[in-house]
Amino acid sequence: MSESLASKYLDSAVLSRLMAQPLLTTMAMQGTVSGLHRSPHKGSSVEFAEYRNYAPGDDLRRLDWRVFARTDRFFLKEFEAETNLRCHLVLDGSGSMAFSYKTNPAKFDYARRLVATFAYLLVHQGDAAGLTICSRTPPPEIPPKRTPSHVQLILESIDTATAEGETLVVKELHAMAERIRPRAMVVVISDFFCDLEELVGAVQHLRFKKHDVVMLQLLDRQEVEFKFDHPVRFQDLESSTSIVAEPQLIREEYLRQLSLFQDSLRQKASEMRVDLRTFMTDEPIEKAASGLLLARAQLATAG
């Protein structure tokens, strides 16, 4: 792995602490190697799942003779195999992701570090990480793989990517829903500043295909607090539109609309059984990553 790119996007001290908790899915995954995640396939390994009635031709070695002694009926043990995870990391490369205020990092830069961190952690735990960048001139899609050298490809891809133009997240999520085989985890990193109903439709498409969807929303604290104290020219980073406004006159309505949007986004995510988490770009990467890892572990255990 390139030392320069690794040092740019990865913090070794943070990674060493995060590796104690794997990134887990709450859904059964399908894979070809042993891993950390539940599989929908039944087998003769790992963890007992349930009993079923004996049928002619079944393997007699799986008969539970203790149950037979109690019930005088033949039952077979079935087990849940543990399998590996394919995780598709989706990075929003639209113009709004380029926003930053004062010393805060741009949302896109913060997102790139999250992508690099999760890719490293996934490969380290034996799972496969891939990358899709939603932008006008995206690099080639990187399909999920488990090899350490694959992390280098992801780092190189995010390093050359830029945030510009309109939001293409909805279009790409629909395409991924048709393209991805088999079921996988899809982690979308974006500010989700797009039409909410269209976004919901795209996420529902992924959920219909039985993918585990995680939505990581990145916001600059100034976008949330709107603490401008003098007239400002506001530029739409996804078009050429701009407007000069007095912040104090529009702050109340802006915050009301933002609150309505956030409430609706959370409600829709809950209805779709999608894990939605919101981070501020002035928060340490470790805090954002560890919060997700712990929450996923709790959900996986509860499931």
Contact 93, 135 (CB under 8 A): yes
Q: How confident is the model at residue 49 (pLDDT cuts 50, 70, 90)?
A: very low
* Tens digits of residue pLDDT in 55-112: 666 667 777 778 778 888 877 665 544 447 899 999 999 999 999 999 999 999 999 9
Residue-wise pLDDT for 186-208, tens only, equals 999 999 999 999 999 999 999 99
pLDDT at residue 38 in the model: 47
**pLDDT value of position 51:** 56
State both tokens at 262.
């956030």
What local confidence, expressed as pLDDT, does residue 77 receive? 64
Q: How many CB atoms lie within 10 A of CB 25?
A: 24
300 residue type, one letter: A
Instruction: Give pLDDT, residue 82.
Output: 44
Q: What angle do CA 287, 290, 291 make, to 5 degrees?
A: 80
**CA end-to-end span of the chain, whole Å?**
36
d(CA 173, CA 186): 9
Q: Where are the domains of the chain?
A: 3-29+85-302, 37-83
Q: In the prediction, which pLDDT does 202 show?
A: 98
Per-residue pLDDT of 20-36, as tens digits, reads 889 988 775 554 444 44
The pLDDT, as a whole number, for residue 303 is 58
The confidence band for 277, taking pLDDT boundaries of 50, 70 and 90, is very high
What is the CA angle 202-206-210, rounded to 5?
160
The label of the residue with tokens 């350490």 reads 148
Q: Checking phi first, is residue 166 left (phi over 0); if not, alpha (psi -120 to 50) or beta?
A: beta
Number of residues written out for the chain: 303
Residue 175 has pLDDT above 80, yes or no: yes
Q: What is the 3-state secondary structure (H, E, C) of the chain?
A: CCHHHHHHHCCHHHHHHHCCCCCCCCCCCCCCCCCCEEEEEEECCCEEEEEEECCCCCCHHHECHHHHHHHCCCEEEEEEEEECCEEEEEEECCHHHHCCCCCCCCHHHHHHHHHHHHHHHHHHCCCEEEEEEECCCCCCCEEEECCHHHHHHHHHHHHHCCCCCCCCHHHHHHHHHHHCCCCCEEEEEECCCCCHHHHHHHHHHHHHCCCEEEEEEEECHHHHHCCCCCCEEEECCCCCCEEEECHHHHHHHHHHHHHHHHHHHHHHHHHCCCEEEEEECCCCHHHHHHHHHHHHHHHHHHC
Q: Tell me which of 3.30.1360.170, 3.40.50.410, 2.30.110.10, 3.90.1530.10 is the CATH number of domain 3-29+85-302.
A: 3.40.50.410
